[in-house]
Structure 1
């Protein structure tokens, strides 16, 4: 049964949404219609984007309240605006749930997104690492007493700090030191990759790189790496070079919360700072949060005004609801199903001769190398979208097509698992994808050569796949009991 099976109060939910849409339509009917169409589109498609999911009606409704009207810069009990007592309650509840859910010493739920969480964490780590020595050196009690000349020296020092993160083509994220991203401009950055033969993390190679580069921060975690990470080993490496270990668990937070990743695969006991989003596999609202040891708590708590402005109080409230949902035993079952279904999807590809980066998966991600089909990732993404299958193109290690056209597509199981898909359904999904890709060929450029963008799908394939996809999703309705007028 789907985790979003019809609730006992489905009539109430339908009535609430229909009335809300009527109110919206009275002001801007096109927005109301687009909202209805988005639900229809999501219901009809096979959503396999690894960073997307479906939030519960309770989580969604929590965002549509008057908490949206509040400015609440600052922290609980220490706001720069009056009248924030209810925001304090919301933020405190969300942080308490997050700490209990993940077994963390401290939680900060204000970041608006994963990128905001990472930026806040970076600046907090920098401030924590230099604040004590600088205050002692300058004989002042706090950083507000530093002169402008002192601040200039400090800015120069911060600008030259070093960060070691996973490379983009190996599965890292833009915010892990990718040069065009702000993280790659804040730091003197370097990257570790994966073994060129297996595609797996080589911890000895990471250790050697860290000893050579001597970073201030080591970032672990990934956006497109289909395997688990041993965070105990990453902490050992960080300790050996005197680095702060920061883990970005945005993608797999749901597998941590659901007890699928335990022991050395759970980053919380090993990292100094952990960042995450509250959506993706965690199935909450779009937003970010940070977990940290008590040592780093005071620095992270200054996210506003250091990086952030006013927190989104209505989203913090929705985070509290989603964290409460993830504490339920049923979420552990869901999380295990996400991992099991990824294995079924991978097996479905492998038995049909498709090539997977690292040869498989043991998390929620399957990274398919589409070069064997003679097309680029962009062509594969577009052909599948035409066929009712929603994915995203993604780089693979040493990708000859770069980060725009790519040679891979990334697939994830969280969303369809929420709908109730199991092993048989994911095997069928693999069959449909292979069928589409094997009958897609590159188009031609104006000069007559093969294109990396345009493509040709054999007649009837897209329509037949759409029909098959519709048949699959019809068995697992999205938000059943929610009927829009």
Structure 2
């Protein structure tokens, strides 16, 4: 299916055709990438408003451009909704994305060359948590913790030992491939003991926290960094939240430290998403995301898949395909041809290279947004199982059969924002 875009079609039919093709792809495929989701029609509309036309350097009431009478209200609304939804004292909704938000944290609390600590990228962390190829690993001295090889879980005795030895200025908790509940109190205790600022990067689980499906870091972390898409179902943007004592340092780091004018149309879409996330229906959504992930994990285990940490507590499942004798990249590309969208991913202690790893990463935010429930997860697991088997055998006919089955189920469950 494609939605009408009359002005775009008239002005640039080539680009309009590409947008239509992407709409059809998103409508017909089973999207299992845990960092992706469907935004509502309201969020889409807010993202494309005339707020795009305004420059607004500074903060509400303290701008460097005139004509901010409406923009100030939009930003104040987004900030108020963020504070209410997450129960924080301060919120900044201006960061352009998650990585710039994390860079602002470094600018606020560290100097170049200082020691910072985060989860190693191959273990499930994020590039901006001090990993070497990132600017955060080049400008700061990054030390990394990981997970136990036997359990796939964080060993907090090892984290504490490393923190006390290295004395980092900042400790990041959270990541991009963590299928288990983040123990914010344990990290907070370690941060206090070594005198570090604790930053909870909840980009992946912000929607689960807002919906009560994951514990909140608010009582424990000094700063919370998050994107506004993923499980929160907002636009591609970010927020920084904190205790009031850190408000000035964070605001100064975002602007003028890293950015010029905020993207006002994104701020508006964030406000809409935060409003949606405050509704009882969103709480039910967040609970369903986790229920679906757990049901899918159990169905995969029943089919002989090796799941890192043995399962999941949240929206995300990390699978090691070594026992299936199919590399992650081969499996991911075959599943894509079968209409099942995943990403290949390293697993802890992976002997293979990052661009050709052993695992795939999947999640349930998107399929839950389409109304799929636990009763559908056995079928999803079966498609994955058949797809991985077909990848190993290079059986394109089997992949085509799966794709038609996937498309049939997707047609019965229209996606938010695409159902026109």
- TM-score (normalizing by structure 1): 0.84
Could you tell me which residue of structure 1 aligns to residue 413 of structure 2?
476
Give the Cα separation in 1 of the matches to 2:167 and 2:185.
Answer: 19
Of the three residues 201, 214, 218, the one matched with 2:171 is: 218
Give the Cα separation in 1 of the matches to 2:321 and 2:70.
Answer: 51
Q: Are 1:367 and 2:318 matched, yes or no?
A: yes
Q: Are 1:27 and 2:27 matched, yes or no?
A: no
Of the three residues 58, 61, 72, the one matched with 2:45 is: 61
Of the three residues 448, 453, 457, the one matched with 2:394 is: 457
Give the Cα separation in 2 of the matches to 1:384 and 1:195.
Answer: 30
Could you tell me which residue of structure 1 aligns to residue 222 of structure 2?
272
User: Does the C-alpha gap of structure 1 residues 196 and 481 become closer, same or farther in structure 2, counting only changes over 3 Å?
Assistant: closer
Of the three residues 95, 103, 127, the one matched with 2:87 is: 103
The Cα of 1:471 is off from its aligned counterpart by 2.1
Q: Are 1:413 and 2:364 matched, yes or no?
A: yes
The 8 Å contact of residues 47 and 415 in structure 1, kept in 2 or not, is answered as yes
The Cα of 1:186 is off from its aligned counterpart by 2.1
The Cα of 1:459 is off from its aligned counterpart by 4.4
The Cα of 1:373 is off from its aligned counterpart by 1.7
The Cα of 1:401 is off from its aligned counterpart by 1.0
The 8 Å contact of residues 40 and 417 in structure 2, kept in 1 or not, is answered as no
The residue correspondences of 1:200-219 to structure 2 (distance < 5 A) are: 200-219=153-172
Could you tell me which residue of structure 1 aligns to residue 239 of structure 2?
289
Q: Are 1:351 and 2:302 matched, yes or no?
A: yes
Give the Cα separation in 2 of the matches to 1:85 and 1:122.
Answer: 32
The Cα of 1:319 is off from its aligned counterpart by 0.3
Deviations 1:230-260 (A, max 9, x none): 1011000000000000010000000100011
Deviations 1:110-145 (A, max 9, x none): 01111111111221223xxxxxxxxxxxxxxxxxxx
Give the Cα separation in 2 of the matches to 1:211 and 1:393.
Answer: 35
Give the Cα separation in 2 of the matches to 1:479 and 1:320.
Answer: 18
Give the Cα separation in 1 of the matches to 2:307 and 2:162.
Answer: 27
Give the Cα separation in 1 of the matches to 2:128 and 2:353.
Answer: 18
The Cα of 1:400 is off from its aligned counterpart by 0.9
Give the Cα separation in 2 of the matches to 1:322 and 1:192.
Answer: 34
Give the Cα separation in 2 of the matches to 1:426 and 1:87.
Answer: 44
User: Does the C-alpha gap of structure 1 residues 165 and 324 become closer, same or farther in structure 2, counting only changes over 3 Å?
Assistant: same
Deviations 1:322-353 (A, max 9, x none): 00000001100000000000001100100011
Give the Cα separation in 2 of the matches to 1:291 and 1:479.
Answer: 28
Give the Cα separation in 1 of the matches to 2:22 and 2:360.
Answer: 23
Give the Cα separation in 1 of the matches to 2:84 and 2:65.
Answer: 29
The Cα of 1:305 is off from its aligned counterpart by 1.1
Deviations 1:273-310 (A, max 9, x none): 10000000000111001101111100111111101121
The Cα of 1:481 is off from its aligned counterpart by 8.3
Could you tell me which residue of structure 2 aligns to residue 178 of structure 1?
131
Deviations 1:182-218 (A, max 9, x none): 1111211100000110010111111011011110100
Could you tell me which residue of structure 2 aligns to residue 192 of structure 1?
145
Give the length in aligned residue pairs: 418
User: Does the C-alpha gap of structure 1 residues 404 and 481 become closer, same or farther in structure 2, counting only changes over 3 Å?
Assistant: closer
Could you tell me which residue of structure 2 aligns to residue 243 of structure 1?
196
Does the residue aligned with 1:177 lie in a helix, a strand or coil? Answer: coil
Give the Cα separation in 2 of the matches to 1:328 and 1:180.
Answer: 40
The 8 Å contact of residues 27 and 418 in structure 2, kept in 1 or not, is answered as no
Could you tell me which residue of structure 1 aligns to residue 21 of structure 2?
37
Could you tell me which residue of structure 1 aligns to residue 273 of structure 2?
322
Could you tell me which residue of structure 2 aligns to residue 167 of structure 1?
120
The Cα of 1:375 is off from its aligned counterpart by 2.0
Does the residue aligned with 1:368 lie in a helix, a strand or coil? Answer: strand
Give the Cα separation in 1 of the matches to 2:260 and 2:219.
Answer: 30
| Worse-matched range after superposition: 424-433 or 330-339 | 424-433
Give the Cα separation in 1 of the matches to 2:270 and 2:77.
Answer: 9
Give the Cα separation in 1 of the matches to 2:396 and 2:287.
Answer: 39
The 8 Å contact of residues 390 and 399 in structure 2, kept in 1 or not, is answered as no
Could you tell me which residue of structure 1 aligns to residue 387 of structure 2?
436
Q: Are 1:254 and 2:207 matched, yes or no?
A: yes
The 8 Å contact of residues 57 and 262 in structure 2, kept in 1 or not, is answered as yes
Give the Cα separation in 1 of the matches to 2:89 and 2:114.
Answer: 27
The Cα of 1:65 is off from its aligned counterpart by 1.1
Aligned CA-pair RMSD: 1.3
Give the Cα separation in 1 of the matches to 2:416 and 2:324.
Answer: 36
The 8 Å contact of residues 201 and 225 in structure 2, kept in 1 or not, is answered as yes
The 8 Å contact of residues 436 and 457 in structure 1, kept in 2 or not, is answered as no
User: Does the C-alpha gap of structure 1 residues 384 and 106 become closer, same or farther in structure 2, counting only changes over 3 Å?
Assistant: same
Give the Cα separation in 1 of the matches to 2:391 and 2:228.
Answer: 36
Could you tell me which residue of structure 2 aligns to residue 340 of structure 1?
291
